[in-house]
Amino acid sequence: MDCRSATCPPMRILGIETSCDETAAAVVEDGPSIVTNVVHSQIEAHAPFGGVVPEIASREHIGRMTDIVTRAVEPLGGMEAIDGIAVTTGPGLVGCLLVGVQMAKGLAMARGVPWVGINHLEGHLSAALLASEPPSYPHVALVVSGGHTHLYHVRGFGEYELMGGTRDDAAGEAFDKVAKVLGLGYPGGIHIDRLAQQGDPNAIRLPRPMATLKHLDFSFSGLKTASIEYLRSQGGTLEGQELADFCASLQEAIADILTKKAVAAAQQVGAGGVVLAGGVAANSRVRSLLEERCSKKRLWAFGPPKPLCTDNAAMIAAAGWVRLAGGESTGWDEEVRSRWPLDGLEAPSP
């Protein structure tokens, strides 16, 4: 593990992610760059319930985990090629996290390699490290997913200072709950994104709660409620152009609030740009509006490729690659955490 010279074989890290409803395993090597990346989505198992059912999710992880890990390491000739293991230890659904962590510990013990527990949100931020030209530090990161909508001042890897966050629902939750009322399926963000392509973003004026720049907190529950009330006033659901217009208007309101605050945060701390992370970072309007607003303020904007925005194990392996290369490893008694604020982390030693 200490061998870092040009003649050394590359250090290969197996990443495992099971914090919610994706069973994922990936291998990254020095760069960090992706060697393999396998994601199994449990969408079909949860779809009839309109959201993730924790017990079903844990059982699905148990049923799939071995196959997913095998598919991630097989192209390299198996576990012999792996020098360290990174696994999400929180935040997330406890029963789900335990499946990945037990797998990681067992493999690390059998192979005699170190393992490291990774914060899922640090994982999302580490998707940016997999780019051929990763964004520079310091920057502002907008972590926006089904459970999080937070702005961080990122001074370096592992140095995260919370600048603002949602006081109620996450942006992804607003997308998903409104999509559920529309009968679009779960998770709904991607369906709203698709339908919005044909719609007029100015068709329906939806509220933009907490759009003030006096602070950097968010609130999406009012927008969610106003959207659902609007739908009820229209008879419960919409079709055709009206549906497209509604989706575009909702998406525009969410993108407007998110990007306005992200740009303000970057200006406030004098950062060079904004990194997008998390499932909602895959939203086409959030990406294009951030790009537009950043360039007006001479800031850069970075969004990882869309498949690396939603939950995956390559981002966990990338974070693990940095931490394991810094000599960090986690003890056998480490537990999983349902909550784990990103700003409580420590940077790896230089």
Binding partner of 310, given ligand KG4, Zn ion, none, CB within 5-8 angstroms per partner class: ligand KG4
Extract the tokens encoding 244. 């497209």
Q: Which is nearer to ligand KG4, 146 or 199 (CB)?
A: 146
Select from 249, 259, 283, 330 the one that contacts ligand KG4 (CB under 6 A): 283
Distance CA 61, CA 5 (A): 38
The reply to whether 169 sits near ligand KG4 by the rule CB under 6 A is no
**Nearest distance from residue 20's CB to ligand KG4, in Å?**
6
- C-alpha distances in Å from residue 291, one per residue of 66, 118, 124, 302: 40, 29, 19, 8
Q: Which helix (H) or strand (E) holds 262?
A: helix 240-269
The reply to whether 145 sits near ligand KG4 by the rule CB under 6 A is yes
The reply to whether 84 sits near ligand KG4 by the rule CB under 6 A is no
What number of other Cβ atoms are within 10 A of residue 288's Cβ? 14
Cβ–Cβ under 8 Å, residues 93 and 54: yes
Q: Which is nearer to ligand KG4, 187 or 199 (CB)?
A: 187
Of the ranges 48-56, 80-88, 144-152, 292-300, which one interacts with ligand KG4 (CB under 6 A)?
A: 144-152
Of the ranges 5-13, 75-83, 181-189, 226-234, which one interacts with ligand KG4 (CB under 6 A)?
A: 181-189
β 22-29/33-41 pair status: antiparallel
Dihedral (Cα; 300, 304, 306, 309), 10-degree rounding? -120
* Closest CA relative to residue 304, chosen from 142, 92, 163: 142
Select from 23, 36, 58, 145 the one that contacts Zn ion (CB under 5 A): 145
β 273-277/139-144 pair status: parallel
Of the ranges 87-95, 105-113, 130-138, 144-152, which one interacts with Zn ion (CB under 5 A)?
A: 144-152
Q: Is the peptide bond before 138 cis (omega within 30 degrees of 0)?
A: yes
**Nearest distance from residue 195's CB to ligand KG4, in Å?**
11
Q: Which is nearer to Zn ion, 121 or 247 (CB)?
A: 121
Q: What does the binding site for ligand KG4 look like in residue numbers (CB under 6 A)?
A: 20, 145-147, 172, 175-176, 187-190, 193, 278-280, 282-283, 310-311
Q: What does the binding site for Zn ion look like in residue numbers (CB under 5 A)?
A: 145, 311
